[in-house]
A = this chain, B = another copy of it.
Amino acid sequence: MKINFNNMMERAIGPHGISQEEVNRVAEKTGAVHRAMEEKKGEMAWRSLPYNQDEVIKDIELTAKSINERFENFVVLGIGGSALGSKALFSALKHTHFNSLSAEKRGGVRFFVEDNVDPDRMNALFDLIDIGKSVFHVITKSGNTVETMSQFMIVLKMLEEKLGNGFKENIVVTTDRETGIMKKICNEYGFKTFVVPDGVGGRFSVLCPVGLLSAAVLNIDIGKLMAGAAAADKACVKEDLYENPAYMYALLYYIAMQKGVNVSIMMPYADGLGSCAEWYAQLWAESLGKEKSLDGRIVNAGQTPVRALGVTDQHSQIQLYTEGPFDKIVAFLGVEEFNTELMIPAPPIDVMDAKYLAGQTLNKLIASELMATEYAVSRAGKMNMRITLDKKNEFEVGALFFFLEMATAAIGEFLLINAFDQPGVEEGKIATFALMGREGYEKKAAELAAGKEKSEKYIMAVN
């Protein structure tokens, strides 16, 4: 995996790029950033995950083996950080139509991530799966996640109806080591349980059991994932900006943000990596979207992450990226080598004006389109960069995750914000509890019921 930052620079794209002087000036902060990253390493428990999980990985792999031998479906019940890592691993590393393959070709269960509470979608799942032959991986650190707990309650009742008391094996839980409702439930009912380690927040949890049980069930090589993460870690230990790609990434985005660039696009040129952009969107948004700085100033920081997909979004978003405002960075995410090749043959009929394509591969086409788009965006003077994975495999994806986590932590230090909390989601959670009639939230319920006066003229019928 490597990153080419050249197209962030004025030298490559003109006046809307970053100058070497700007880099030099902000580079002076790198020492302080580095010290903070070192000092807070203990708090950032996710940084140890590539090194301290030998035991738990063995347990995960045995559990996964048993699940694949005995069940037909594996369903993740989780949302946000409890779902996005599993989705990213699944779509990056498995067959596009995995669930439609035979069990033999899959090597085990069908795989589902239920990260929404849409009744039509959840009913659609139950149309499909035999619940008695399904394992549900319930993931909630606190046990307080209303979406996951609701799904858990629905599933438990269905399991009981189907299996009587014999549903213990159909539930696996990943939750806090000691505290929370879920932990108590697991203790009482004997569900197989994994732990979200302390200091590993949801959006940094893909490389702990939250994401790894899915990986193992999908026969993804966890050892290689971890080796990739460790390699990225080793590449990001030095203080020198030019020897630490995470600091360089953080610094360039930081400079761009100071210049008003408030949109961060991640645009993979590999269909399966689309979900990695989703995963990154959470990491970037929740970590950097902060009202206050560490010293309490109102800063309303944050870049809006945008999930794009090459080449598809060339026909949707590139018009805006080339001609629109100078308010965004496009991070292209390319793959040096795909897993398969597909030749464009000369067709049996005369396909006029498209003959130049015959004998070439889709592999060359998608690579050429990435280069061409990079060229067009650069020519339009818009900041962009390219992350290149050697292959779409465990090692590279592990490295990508860990690298982006390190870069996110580092930009948090440049911005002097707390990249690891999410106070802004509390208000909505409380309002949901109130609207659902939870005890203790009566006052908020009354406030919500009273509502704000609405102006009728701003409520308009369309049909």
Question: A237 interface residue, CB < 8 Å from B?
Answer: no
Q: Is the CB of B323 within 8 A of A300?
A: yes
Q: 0/1 per residue, A234-277, Cβ < 8 Å to B? A: 11100000100100100000000000001100000111100000
Docked complex Cα distance between A349 and B159 (Å) = 11
Q: Is the CB of A154 within 8 A of B344?
A: yes
Oligomeric state, in copies: 2
Q: Is the CB of B5 within 8 A of A458?
A: yes
Question: Quick one: closest B residue to A242, CB to CB?
Answer: B457
Q: 0/1 per residue, A340-360, Cβ < 8 Å to B? A: 111111111111111011101
Q: Give the segment of A30-38, A184-192, A213-221 that binds chain B.
A: A184-192
Docked complex Cα distance between A180 and B263 (Å) = 38
Q: Which residues of B contact A123 (CB under 8 A)?
A: 340, 342
Q: Which residues of B contact A371 (CB under 8 A)?
A: 431, 435, 448
Docked complex Cα distance between A343 and B13 (Å) = 56
Q: Is the CB of A188 within 8 A of B350?
A: yes
Q: Which residues of B contact A160 (CB under 8 A)?
A: 347-348
Docked complex Cα distance between A263 and B281 (Å) = 15
Question: Quick one: closest B residue to A347, CB to CB?
Answer: B156
Docked complex Cα distance between A350 and B186 (Å) = 11
Docked complex Cα distance between A117 and B146 (Å) = 39
Q: Is the CB of A262 within 8 A of B325?
A: yes
Residue from the list B95, B272, B357 in contact with A150, Cβ < 8 A = B357
Question: A28 interface residue, CB < 8 Å from B?
Answer: no
Q: Which residues of B contact A422 (CB under 8 A)?
A: 319
Q: Is the CB of B5 within 8 A of A428?
A: no
Q: Is the CB of A326 within 8 A of B300?
A: yes
Give the shortest distance, in Å, between A240 (CB) and chain B (any CB): 11
Which A residues, 310 to 353, have Cβ-Cβ distances below 8 Å to chain B? 311-312, 314-328, 338-353
Centre residue among A157, A160, A184, A458 by max chain B CB count within 10 A: A458
Question: Quick one: closest B residue to A373, CB to CB?
Answer: B428
Q: Give the segment of A41-49, A52-60, A62-70, A287-295 that binds chain B.
A: A287-295
Question: Quick one: closest B residue to A158, CB to CB?
Answer: B345
Q: Which residues of B contact A356 (CB under 8 A)?
A: 433, 436-439
Question: A26 interface residue, CB < 8 Å from B?
Answer: no
Q: Which residues of B contact A325 (CB under 8 A)?
A: 262, 300-302
11 example contacts (A-B, Cβ-Cβ < 8 A) are as follows A97-B125, A121-B271, A147-B369, A156-B348, A156-B349, A181-B351, A262-B262, A262-B325, A291-B322, A322-B427, A371-B435
Given contacts A5-B458, A157-B348, A285-B320, 17 further A-B contacts (CB under 8 A): A2-B460, A80-B316, A83-B312, A150-B354, A154-B345, A156-B348, A156-B351, A165-B348, A248-B458, A262-B327, A281-B317, A318-B424, A320-B424, A321-B424, A368-B435, A372-B430, A376-B424
The 10 lowest CB-CB distance pairs between A and B, nearest first, are A80-B315, A289-B320, A302-B324, A372-B431, A231-B463, A96-B124, A368-B435, A282-B316, A376-B428, A323-B424
